[in-house]
Amino acid sequence: MLPEFKQMLSIELGGKLSNAERELLPTGFQIIGDIAIVQLKEPLHKLKQEIAEIILKNFPNRIKAVCLKSGEIMGEFREPKIERLAGNGLETVHRENECLFKMDVSKVMFAKGNVNERRRIASLVKAGEIIVDMFAGLGYFTIPIAVLSKAKKIYSIEKNPVAFHYLKENLVLNRVGGKVVPIEGDCVEKAPAIGKIADRVLLGYLPAPKFALPAAFAVAKEGAKMHYEGVWYEFDSIENVFGDVIEGAKKANRKVALEHVQRVKSFGPHRYHVVLDVALD
């Protein structure tokens, strides 16, 4: 029995599909705000327009536009590869964990699979903490921390001008501008200028941002917590990721201890996006 969505596509596309192509039909799609993002195997790309129109027709109250994910997130600014297929407008507001995120899905990344991690990090923040978000983006972690925690101040640094624009919009949208200091620029340069005041430092960037560790140590005070992201292969030691932090700590004349490894999501068999919760001296 075909899953419901796959069956719907199969029926509506009818004779346009070969038996082999029918097996390749997607079983669903991702929704960000009111934008549907579908992934299609290469043999189905010739039918991408028809598939998009079917989605738009069958979900008129939930979806205003349909896009094709045409490639992986790439480049320094982690830009998505998105092609609009049907409907109008790629700017949307996505609601999650009592937070609102405004974005253009074709211009800035938003990983829905990180939803639990965004809430988890916010839940760790204690009242009165000063946070430095080194790769703030449109506010992936800044907004949940500002909305859900009692942090005293959040310094949110973002280099991508488009993401920075949406970060500022999201501060207004969530009414948390008084808690957050948005800083446009490279965190490697901007973070040390803040001073050694952070109770918690976020390095939310993939691949693992080893290059930003000196700046992170420069802004983290004694007793601070650091959240460092990386990719971990299950058959390897976690030291392959934590080794970056150990090396950075030695250069900064600091001591670190690994408190927790959080698996965020799988990238394939035995390959995980992880976040290391690290305690600093």
Confidence of residue 271 (pLDDT cuts 50, 70, 90): confident
Please report the pLDDT score of residue 119 as a whole number: 97
Q: Where in the chain is the domain with CATH 3.30.300.110?
A: 4-89
Q: Where in the chain is the domain with CATH 3.40.50.150?
A: 112-280
**Residue 278 structure tokens:** 């690290």
Please report the pLDDT score of residue 1 as a whole number: 40
Residue 191 region by backbone torsions, left for phi larger than 0, else alpha for psi between -120 and 50, else beta: alpha
Residue 2 has pLDDT above 70, yes or no: no
Give 11's contacts (C-beta < 8 A, 6+ positions apart): none
pLDDT 10s digits, 33-42: 999 999 999 9
Of 70-79, 111-120, 221-230, least confident by mean pLDDT is 70-79
Q: Tell me what percent of the residues of the chain surpass a pLDDT of 70.
A: 99
The mean pLDDT value of the chain amounts to: 94
Please report the pLDDT score of residue 244 as a whole number: 94
Could you tell me where the beta strands, DSSP code E, fall in the chain?
30-32, 35-38, 65-74, 79-87, 91-96, 99-104, 130-133, 153-158, 180-184, 198-203, 220-233, 256-268, 271-280
Q: What is the mean pLDDT of residues 47-73?
A: 92
The per-residue b/e assignment along 20-32, b for 16 or more CB within 10 angstroms, e otherwise, is: ebeeebbeebeeb
Residue with tokens 């921390």: 145
**Residue 129 structure tokens:** 């903490």
Q: What is the fold of 4-89? A: GMP Synthetase; Chain A, domain 3 (3.30.300)
| 8 Å CB contact between 108 and 97 | no
- Please tell me the distance from the alpha carbon of residue 226 to that of residue 275, in angstroms, as a whole number: 10
- Please tell me the distance from the alpha carbon of residue 84 to that of residue 106, in angstroms, as a whole number: 8
Please report the pLDDT score of residue 187 as a whole number: 98
Please report the pLDDT score of residue 226 as a whole number: 98
- Taking the model in full, what pTM does it have? 0.92
Please report the pLDDT score of residue 29 as a whole number: 95
Residue 258 has pLDDT above 90, yes or no: yes
CATH number among 2.60.40.3140, 2.60.120.380, 3.40.640.10, 3.40.50.150, domain 112-280: 3.40.50.150
User: Bridge-partner residues for 32, per DSSP?
Assistant: 35
| 8 Å CB contact between 208 and 228 | yes
Of 72-76, 101-105, 258-262, least confident by mean pLDDT is 72-76
Of 71, 86, 68, 89, whose CA–CA distance to 26 is shortest?
68
pLDDT 10s digits, 210-254: 999 999 999 999 999 999 999 998 888 888 899 999 999 999 999
